[in-house]
Chain A
């Protein structure tokens, strides 16, 4: 054997050993995909959501208890919120190239449906969305691989109907943003409100991104009603509708869906929205407080939308892995409802290490987390909502429903 061949052989052996070593290192790491709309209409809230999910992963890694010291590694991908093809490609990369064990995401209902149908179910990967709220996701054919820590808008429609009932409002007009979210939300609200004996004078869509909404408001005003229910986005057409309605004196009271919650609404409208009210997913209790403390310590804003839900999504994946005793994708799916619901020891946010320990010892946990997680029906949150009223230029909490 010439010296040159020998050197080559030695190099190959060294290379092979190196590969084996790195493979061993990777075996300790469990990849979790985080697919959210880092670009697109939700780009302002997704960084907080991703960081909250990673906060839960860090807490688990620091405990060192997951499956005898395995570490979670997050792999981020961009769902774009609106572009189904881009979202599907990004999810495909997570599942095939990055070989993730489970996915936190996606954020918007449209792309979430696309990813569930085209990637998650065909490949058998668990997906937990923190923020997709379309009722369509309740009866999607998901082989039980899809969960969500946010409630369906069908529930929110019912809650808004209840709020109106408590204020004795009998007739309303509805304006919804012209997309999957708005249409389904409006449908569920209208059916809940009419079932409760109320009357919807008109339910008309509005398109986002227009300069002028006076024509839309003209139709709403003609139909009339005691209040205008606005199911849109606060930085988009929703506020345009409210502005035109206030300017023309068409409506004085606005009832706001979750997409309309934001300080920018009060900044834009001032007195115009005084006395208006609405609901937003939100919880109170020890879990929420614990999460707020942990998030604030990590430099995050816990009141930003869907941060608690994101934290819970990542925590649920880890607990399900621990329960299943493996990182196998299907095993995670099968263990999910066991850890999310009772019976078992209640686990709050910030308490993940204790949960992992109990599961390791063969016990049972009931994950409560930051948002009082309770997965019902097809694996979605039952959902509590915070009812608020705008008074003195501030959002004041009335009660939780």
Chain B
């Protein structure tokens, strides 16, 4: 019995908890991408760098708060700074929409033109973030690091293996649940949310029934930028902030959105966890888990070396597009 429990604890420590946190972060990012796609009808390649921009503002405000001697007790100060970071990212998103995307909307340009414009926006944001905070790694997590450490867990349970629950992981999961609940309530129940869904379903019909398109676009950007900043800050707290890493997150985020069915908020969440758990479970070496279960494997029992993590997103993307282009939740076909 002990063997089974130990196997379970090892699995939870190295696979389940990291996958859960990473999945929640991807899901929040993918929600933003999917909303922009559903309502504005283009793939926003600048989403990763919008995440980096919002996170950067949050970090700068966090440092300022720390400098003023303000902290959030056991919780990271960055949570206090988060609203200002969201505000900054929203302002930036609206600014970009006003001066870039609105022009193409007026022209009624093709989707591909929007996508290319968003690539340009991506590079500009990329540069701005590097100019302001630099290309290096920044760590801004403070407060308590652990809810429970490996040692405490071992002492508590008497098992040979320990389970560490880091505070940022717990925060990620709690915040993600809150945000997703609020978002779904907003989309399903509020008047603006309903207007957004109507606009997404059929633009012309929505316009005929008196929905103000400018307002829908504005609210979409506000939500997308807020989600991007929250996802970015949670990722940064859990792991670390580096502009290039955020740029790279674009791939798993798009994979998540497409796997779940692009344009489908529920799909984005499911897709986030599918991609995250695929990455973690396929690159984990199961030797120790199997040993506790009574097997004695010679090798490491690792399906793929950890360097292939990013390749997994690609493979999932290709497989989904080949086999079920609409994704799990029947989104639009790209």
Contacts and interface: CB of A to CB of B under 8 A. Distances in A.
Contacts of A215: 18, 279-280, 283-284, 306, 309
Contacts of B235: 211
B244 A219 contact: no
Contacts of B102: none
A248 interface: yes
Contacts of A207: 307
Nearest to A223: B300
B300 to A, nearest CB: 6
Nearest to B308: A215
Nearest to B162: A249
Given A222-B285, A222-B288, A223-B285, A249 B300 contact: no
B151 interface: yes
Interface residues of B, number: 39
B13 interface: yes
A268 B18 CA distance: 21
Nearest to B153: A249
Contacts of A206: 306
A249 B284 contact: no
Given A219-B306, A223-B285, A249 B239 contact: no
A395 to B, nearest CB: 22
Interface string A207-233: 101111011111101111000000000
Contacts of A202: 300
A224 B306 contact: no
B71 interface: no
Query: Residue among A178, A214, A247 with the most chain B CB within 10 A?
Result: A214
B143 to A, nearest CB: 15
B242 interface: yes
B190 interface: no
A205 interface: yes
Contact of B151 (A221, A223, A249, A250): A249
Contacts, number: 83
Query: Residue among A204, A209, A218, A250 with the most chain B CB within 10 A?
Result: A218
Interface residues of A, number: 26
Interface in B1-33: 13-15, 18, 22
B245 A211 contact: yes
Nearest to B286: A222
A111 B166 CA distance: 41
B276 to A, nearest CB: 11
Nearest to A218: B14
Given A204-B306, A224-B288, 20 more contacts: A178-B307, A211-B240, A211-B241, A212-B238, A212-B239, A212-B240, A214-B280, A215-B284, A215-B306, A218-B285, A219-B283, A219-B300, A222-B301, A223-B285, A247-B145, A248-B13, A248-B150, A248-B164, A249-B151, A249-B162
29 contacts: A178-B307, A202-B300, A204-B305, A204-B306, A205-B307, A209-B137, A209-B244, A212-B240, A214-B18, A216-B306, A218-B283, A218-B285, A219-B284, A219-B305, A222-B285, A222-B286, A222-B288, A222-B301, A222-B302, A223-B285, A223-B300, A240-B240, A247-B166, A248-B14, A248-B164, A249-B13, A249-B150, A249-B151, A268-B139
Interface of A: 178, 202, 204-207, 209-212, 214-219, 221-224, 240, 247-250, 268
